[in-house]
Structure 1
Amino acid sequence: MLSPSLAQEIAGDTSAVIGFNVLITDADGVVIGSGDSSRVGSFHEASVEVMRTKEPATHNASQAQLLRGVRPGVTLPLVAGGQAVGTVGITGTPAQVRRFGLLVKRQTEILLRESVMLRSRLLAERAAEKLLADIASYDAQVIEADSLLFRAADLGFDLRLRRIAVAFEVTAPPADTGRRPGAPNPDSRPGAPSRGSRPGAPNRGSRPGAPNLDMGLVRSELLRTVREVFADPQDIVAATAPGRVGVLHRLPARGPVDSPEAGCRRVIDAIAAQDGLAARAGIGEPATAVGGLHDSYQDACEALRLGARRPDGLPVHPIGELRVQQLLATVSQSARNRLLASTTAQLRTQPDWPALRDTITAWCESGFNLVRAAAALHIHRNTVVYRMNKIEQLTGRPLRDHHTTMALYLACLTDHLTVTED
């Protein structure tokens, strides 16, 4: 419980403060920390009796001469969890150093408890990381689900409860812009603010040194923030990679599924406010068994990947809104190229093809409604009409024909996937 490095740090700092040498021994009476480094590794005989009785002892010069490795002073037990785990001694005339004894003992025990708690938290974090990693890579042909259930139970988690997976990713925004990486600039006028930013929000991307991140600090802050929001005792929260955190969020046992989207947005806003970083979240589907949790977490990671390619730039990506993109991503590149060639050949030769592609996508995702499509694109309704007329002229097919429109929609999604993969 009492590591030599911690003991040496405590002994050295305390000796410098009180002006008397402080030494710390382990449970066997061996000095593991001392303001006088020459005593480290020596045997302190007085500690053996102090450990046995858990009572302090003082030794004058004549008494100290009779004990191995002991000098005049006071020796006190270090007690943690009701057990003596070592001793702390202060060298000097007993009458002089006795008044420091209880203070040094209490301070050392406090530091020892904090060290034990920190170590316990770190061990729990590592165990949760290993559990989540094993669920993410779960293969029923390789490992039995029951073994993961037992391991989770040892950590206090019941994997049979209904859960939903969430994957978070944090990145530094570009140094010269406050927009999310890859997000389009909706207004090309010099000095115009991005429509994706909140009014009055600072341009966090222009912070000097923002891209040069201490990933260890980012990991710690991200974990803390996620745990503050997903605070249910059954929520499994663990780091999965630098700048990434996974969550297996417990859902109510009955009733409608409470989507974690609101919690995800709270995490994203908190990360942006505290550290000026860009955060995104992918959300899987509800599950109750180990195999289902595996699929849910894989879907959350896939939603995170595919969501970054959407033109809307939104930071929260439920997999339910990306199933079509997920399916298209599994199709071979040659098949995707044939779909593009057969449906968008004329459109892709146009200089405004990205705008035409986004118009088709918005038209379909807005329920074939002009007003909602215009709002999604942040343009006037007449501009949508103009673009749709142009698309019909170039393709020779009416967009009111839903078969034609859906083919174009799939082609546009395919093109966007292909562009972002390149």
Structure 2
Amino acid sequence: MFDLQIIGTKIVRELGELIDQHVVVIDHNGFIIASTDMSRMNQFHEGALIAMKNKEVMHMTKELSAQLKGVREGLVMPLVIEDTPIGVIGVTGQPFEIEKYGKLVQKITQFFVEDFLMHRKKERETKMFELFLLDLLNGQVNQLLLEQRAEMLNIETDLYDRVIIIQLNRRIDEKGMDYLRAIQIIHPQLHIFQWSFDKLVLLVPKVTRIHLEQTLHSFNRKLVKLYDDEIFIGVGNSHSFFALNESYNEASIALTVAVENRQIVFEEDLKLELLLSDLDEQKVGNFICRTIGSLIEEEELIYNLEMWLKSKGGLQEIADALHIHKNTLKYRLKKIEKLLNIDINNNENKLELMIAILLFRKRKSV
């Protein structure tokens, strides 16, 4: 049975602004649960029970108001959902005066009820899909059971092959989620869900890599403009539907790299970062300490070293990018060599330093 109490006050408030008459909402037991006249709250309305029993609009005449308990002159209209009366909407006043309001009141009330029921149905379906997705991406539920649930939810399992995770450092309400679904152009049947407080998960239909990149960059620009925040995106690889937990794990790795580099990252593009994604924390700490440990408190030196290691240009080009003088860069590189007690031009040392900085950045982003 639908509980009219949930939206009764809203119905009364809206109707009270539209018509110059008192309005009451009466539940299926015949009690007034919302009214523009607060003195009538929780009173029994015998006429409402009769209207619900007969499933028809009734005029509460002066004679009836004298005979029936809790009744005033006016009009009572049963609210019928799927052939079942769920309550009554009443308008007080002389019947000939309020007759003109009858159909308007009934239609507006019916709209509120149907809109609420539709919204609740959508919420229930979304929740069921989210629970299914949680089990699918955790990879710990029997595939046969997942297949049965997918069929029950009418999910086209042949359509989806990839998972994307978006981190945006905020929670989005249901209206916001609906808006995001409306503005994305990746695919009409793309699913977007709030995954945790600061993350969204996208269940992506089969599209080409080029199309995905283009539309994902477009979506990212819209997100940045909408929320004025840093957005990080990790993209998993293509897999069969019931192996999408692998795509989810890959998207998580790609997201970690994206947070470090502030960009959209496809897991399939990762090389060294992939190797470093699941190392023992103690070993990582020891490696950082043995390589760049002397620079840990010198963030500026680490950044200058990182720029030098990554650059293919000469010292002047690097200095210009850092907005410092070439001689200042030379001085800092010499200082780094002295602090680390190594030759930073040695290829083996370069590789170790680059790995150490990658691990250091990864640690800081966690």
TM-score with structure 1 setting the length: 0.70
Q: Which residue of 1 aligns with 2:355?
A: 410
Give 1:22 shift.
Answer: 1.4
Q: Which residue of 2 aligns with 1:325?
A: 273
CA RMSD, Structure 1 to Structure 2 (Å) = 3.7
* Structure with greater contact order relative to length (CA < 8 Å, sep ≥ 6): 1
Q: Which residue of 1 aligns with 2:184?
A: 229
Structure 1 CA distance for aligned equivalents of residues 293 and 3 of structure 2: 71
Structure 2 CA distance for aligned equivalents of residues 38 and 347 of structure 1: 75
Kept after mapping to 1: 8 A contact 2:169/2:197: no
Kept after mapping to 2: 8 A contact 1:24/1:32: yes
Q: Which residue of 2 aligns with 1:197?
A: none
Q: Which moved more, 1:331-340 or 1:161-170?
A: 331-340
Q: 2:153 aligns with which of 144, 152, 155?
A: 155
Matched-pair identity in %: 19
Tell me which amino acid in the other structure corresponds to 1:229: Q
Q: Which moved more, 1:130-139 or 1:221-230?
A: 221-230
Structure 2 CA distance for aligned equivalents of residues 334 and 103 of structure 1: 71
SS state of the match for residue 159, structure 1?
coil
SS state of the match for residue 225, structure 1?
helix
Tell me which amino acid in the other structure corresponds to 2:244: L
Kept after mapping to 1: 8 A contact 2:186/2:212: no
Structure 2 CA distance for aligned equivalents of residues 323 and 154 of structure 1: 40
Give 1:283 shift.
Answer: 0.8
Q: Which residue of 2 aligns with 1:357?
A: 306
Kept after mapping to 2: 8 A contact 1:232/1:250: yes
Structure 2 CA distance for aligned equivalents of residues 333 and 30 of structure 1: 64
**Aligned pairs (5 A) from 1:16-415:** 17-80=18-81, 84-139=85-140, 143-171=141-169, 215=171, 220-221=175-176, 224-229=179-184, 232=187, 234-252=189-207, 256-257=208-209, 260-290=212-242, 292-310=243-261, 313-314=262-263, 316-337=264-285, 339-340=287-288, 352-360=301-309, 362=310, 370=313, 378=321, 395-396=342-343, 406-415=351-360
Structure 1 pair 35–349 and aligned structure 2 pair: CA distance change class (3 A) = closer
Structure 1 CA distance for aligned equivalents of residues 133 and 42 of structure 2: 42
Q: Which residue of 2 aligns with 1:203?
A: none
SS state of the match for residue 111, structure 1?
helix
SS state of the match for residue 276, structure 2?
helix
Structure 1 pair 417–243 and aligned structure 2 pair: CA distance change class (3 A) = closer
Structure 2 CA distance for aligned equivalents of residues 120 and 3 of structure 1: 16
Query: What's the CA shift string for 1:44-75, capped at 9, x where partnerless?
Result: 33334433443322121112333333222111
Q: Which moved more, 1:276-285 or 1:5-14?
A: 5-14
Tell me which amino acid in the other structure corresponds to 1:328: L
Structure 1 pair 271–349 and aligned structure 2 pair: CA distance change class (3 A) = closer
Tell me which amino acid in the other structure corresponds to 2:154: G
Tell me which amino acid in the other structure corresponds to 2:111: I
Which runs of no fewer than 5 residues in structure 2 stay unpaired? Answer: none
Kept after mapping to 1: 8 A contact 2:35/2:41: yes
Tell me which amino acid in the other structure corresponds to 1:309: E
Structure 1 CA distance for aligned equivalents of residues 17 and 278 of structure 2: 65
Which runs of no fewer than 5 residues in structure 1 stay unpaired? Answer: 173-214, 364-368
Kept after mapping to 2: 8 A contact 1:222/1:271: no
Structure 1 pair 341–114 and aligned structure 2 pair: CA distance change class (3 A) = closer
Structure 1 pair 352–167 and aligned structure 2 pair: CA distance change class (3 A) = same
Structure 1 CA distance for aligned equivalents of residues 124 and 186 of structure 2: 19
SS state of the match for residue 59, structure 2?
strand
Q: Which has the higher helix share?
A: 2
Kept after mapping to 1: 8 A contact 2:26/2:33: yes
Q: How many pairs align?
A: 355
Structure 1 pair 17–336 and aligned structure 2 pair: CA distance change class (3 A) = closer
Structure 1 pair 359–220 and aligned structure 2 pair: CA distance change class (3 A) = farther
TM-score with structure 2 setting the length: 0.79
Tell me which amino acid in the other structure corresponds to 2:258: G
Structure 2 CA distance for aligned equivalents of residues 78 and 100 of structure 1: 15
Query: What's the CA shift string for 1:248-276, capped at 9, x where partnerless?
Result: 11114xxx555633333222211222332
SS state of the match for residue 260, structure 1?
helix
Structure 1 CA distance for aligned equivalents of residues 337 and 83 of structure 2: 82
Kept after mapping to 2: 8 A contact 1:128/1:238: no
Give 1:15 shift.
Answer: 3.7
Tell me which amino acid in the other structure corresponds to 2:24: L
Structure 1 CA distance for aligned equivalents of residues 10 and 357 of structure 2: 62
